[in-house]
């Protein structure tokens, strides 16, 4: 079974700071997913990565397949970035649709 480890579990930073959240996993995957969960529960998919790097606005996600490690970066952080960020992995299940295995999440608070 794949283990997904995230760090840090909690992070408080000042507005404008560069944020890094890390994720490591234990076995081969089909993709790594970064998700954002706001209070109230709604989850939004930010990135799905199989290799390399992706960027969307102020968010950057990278993955190193050999080291089984991914990072999510937020540049010029803003209070509206405050949320729980969750790393998840999918693995080939053979059924054509892969369920996700999740990390515990990183609770990020950006103070003005």
Partner 1 sequence: ETGVTQTPRHLVMGMTNKKSLKCEQHLGHNAMYWYKQSAKKPLELMFVYNFKEQTENNSVPSRFSPECPNSSHLFLHLHTLQPEDSALYLCASSQPRSPETQYFGPGTRLLVL
**CB-CB contact of 91 with 98 (8 Å):** yes
Total residues contacting partner 1 by CB under 8 A comes to: 29
Between residues 17 and 100, which has the closer beta carbon with respect to partner 1? 100
Q: Does 64 bind partner 1 (CB under 8 A)?
A: no
8 contacts partner 1 (rule: CB under 8 A): no
Say whether 39 sits in a helix, a strand or coil.
Answer: coil
Q: Is 106 in the site for partner 1 (CB under 8 A)?
A: no
Whichever of 35 and 59 has its CB closer to partner 1, that residue is: 35
Please report, to the nearest 10 degrees, the dihedral formed by the alpha carbons of residues 94, 41, 37, 79 taken in order.
170
Position 43 contacts partner 1 (CB under 8 A): yes
Pairing outcome for strands 106-111 and 10-14: parallel
């Amino acid at each position: 079974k794949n283990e997904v480890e995230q760090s840090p579990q909690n992070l408080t930073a000042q507005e404008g700071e560069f944020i890094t959240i890390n994720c490591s996993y234990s076995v081969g995957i089909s993709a790594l997913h970064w998700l954002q969960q706001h209070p109230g529960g709604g989850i939004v998919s930010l990135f799905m990565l199989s290799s390399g790097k992706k960027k969307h606005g102020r968010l950057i996600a990278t993955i190193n397949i050999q080291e089984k490690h991914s990072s999510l970066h937020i540049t010029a952080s803003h209070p509206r970035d405050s949320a729980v960020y969750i790393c998840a992995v999918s693995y080939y299940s053979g059924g054509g649709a892969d369920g996700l295995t999740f990390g515990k999440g990183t609770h990020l608070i950006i103070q003005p």
